[in-house]
Amino acid sequence: MNQEQNIEEQLWSYIDGHSSSEERSLIDKLLQSNLEWKNKYHELLEIHQLMNAAELEQPSLRFTKNVMEKIAQYSIAPATKNYINKRIIWGIAAFFITLITGFLIYGFAQIDWNAQSDSSLPVDLSQVDFSKIFNNNFVNGFMMVNVLLGLVLLDRILANKRKKYQQQG
Amino acid sequence: MSTGLGDNEIISRVLQGEQNAYAELVNRYQSYVFTLILRMVKSREDAEEIAQDVFVKAYRSLADFRGESKFSTWLYTITNTTSITFLRKKKLEVHSLDNEKVFEVADSRDSGFRANLIEQKSRVNMVNEAIAMLSPDDAEIITLFYKAEQNLEEISRILRLETNTVKVRLHRARARLKEKMEKNFSEEVKNIY
C-alpha cells in the first residue's frame, strides 16, 4: 500500500510538472519498462484530465447586478498603508520601550544590593519613599524625554500630512 | 461584455472612481469564486450570498491590492477567509485533513449519490459529484489547483500554508477523490481505466 502511494505521489508530481529532471528521466524509463507504473500513470493522467475538464458552477444571472447594487452603497476604503504609518508604530513602540526601561532602571536604583539576605525580598517596600518618585530629577528627566518623543511624533504626523497635501496640490 | 483589459488596468480605473468597471472583474471571476465557495459550503444559496460578500469586501479593500500577486490569488484569499468565517458562524465543522470524520461525513453523503448511479453520467459530472463528496478542505485545494489556475506557491499564499504542505494536501485530496470515484462510480471508473 505504501509502495502504491509512493508511486502515485511520484506520478502526480510527474504529471503536474513538479518533478526534477532526474526524477523525470527515471520515471520516463519506468513508464517504458514497468507495466505497473505505466497502468498507474494512465489511470492518474485520466483523472487529471477529467479534473481539468470539470465545468465551473455558475451563480444566478443577476449575480453581477446584485454585487454592483451592493457596492453602490460603499466607497473604497483608503489603503491600510496610508493610515498605518510604520514610523508611527515604531515611535509608539519606542515610547513604551523607553517608559518600561525607565521604570526598570528606577526600580533597580531603589534596590539596596548590600542589604542582609535575611529578608526574602531585596527591597524593603516600607522604606521606599513613593512621594519622591514623581519629584526627583530622574523622573523629571524621564518625563522630559517622553514629552520630546511625543513632540517628534506630532512633527512626523504633521510633516506627512503636509507632504500629502503638497503632492495632491 | 468583456473589455479586453487586464485585471490591473481595470483595478486602476476603479480606484480612479470608475465604479462600473468593477462589473468586468465580477463577470470575469464570479464562476471561479462561486465554484470554490460552493465546493466548501455545499449549498447554492449560501454560496451565492458568500460570493457576493466576497466581491463587496474585495471592492472595499481594493486600495490594499498592491499587485504583488495576481488579482485572482488575492481574491481567492478573501474567498477562503470569508467561507471559513461563514462555516464557523454556521457552526459547521471545518474538518481537518487528518480527521477521520471527513470520511464519515463524506460516506453519509454517498448514499444520496448512489441512487443516481443508475443514470448514465458523463465523466465530467462524475468528477464534479465526487468532488462534492469530499471535505471542504479537500474540495477547496483541488478546485484552486485545477479550476482556479493557481500554482502551489499561490495556493500556499491563499491558504497561508507552506508550499510543501500544500503539495502533500493536494496529493492526499486527489487520493481521496480517486477513492470516492472508485467506490461510488465503479462502472464509470472501469470504463475510464
Q: Is B12 on the interface with A (CB under 8 A)?
A: no
Q: Is B152 on the interface with A (CB under 8 A)?
A: yes
Residues 6 or more apart in contact with residue B142 via CB below 8 angstroms = A51, B39, B131, B134, B170, B173, B174, B177
Question: d(Cα A124, Cα B22) in Å, to the nearest integer?
Answer: 69
How confident is the model at residue A15, as a pLDDT?
93
How confident is the model at residue A83, as a pLDDT?
65
Is residue A91 within 8 Å of A149, Cβ to Cβ? Answer: yes
Task: Give counts: helices (H), strands (E), chain A.
Answer: 7, 0
Q: Which of B3, B16, B19 to mutate to test the interface with A (most CBs of A within 10 A)?
A: B19
The pLDDT tens digits of the residues spanning A40-56 come to: 999 899 889 888 888 88
The pLDDT tens digits of the residues spanning B57-96 come to: 999 999 999 888 999 999 999 999 999 999 888 765 544 4
Q: Is B69 on the interface with A (CB under 8 A)?
A: no
Task: Give counts: helices (H), strands (E), chain B.
Answer: 10, 0
Beta-strand runs (E) in A4-123: none
Q: Which of A5, A50, A62 to mutate to test the interface with B (most CBs of B within 10 A)?
A: A50
The answer to whether the Cβ–Cβ distance between B124 and A54 falls below 8 Å is yes
Q: Domain limits of chain B?
A: 7-89, 101-192
Element (H, E) at A22: helix A21-33
- Grid cell at residue A146: 517622553
Quick one: DSSP state of residue B193?
-
| B7-89 CATH choice from 2.60.120.10, 3.40.640.10, 3.90.1280.10, 1.10.1740.10 | 1.10.1740.10
Q: How is domain B101-192 classified at the architecture level of CATH?
A: Orthogonal Bundle (1.10)
Does the pLDDT of residue A69 top 70, yes or no? Answer: yes
The pLDDT tens digits of the residues spanning B105-132 come to: 444 444 444 444 434 456 777 888 888 8
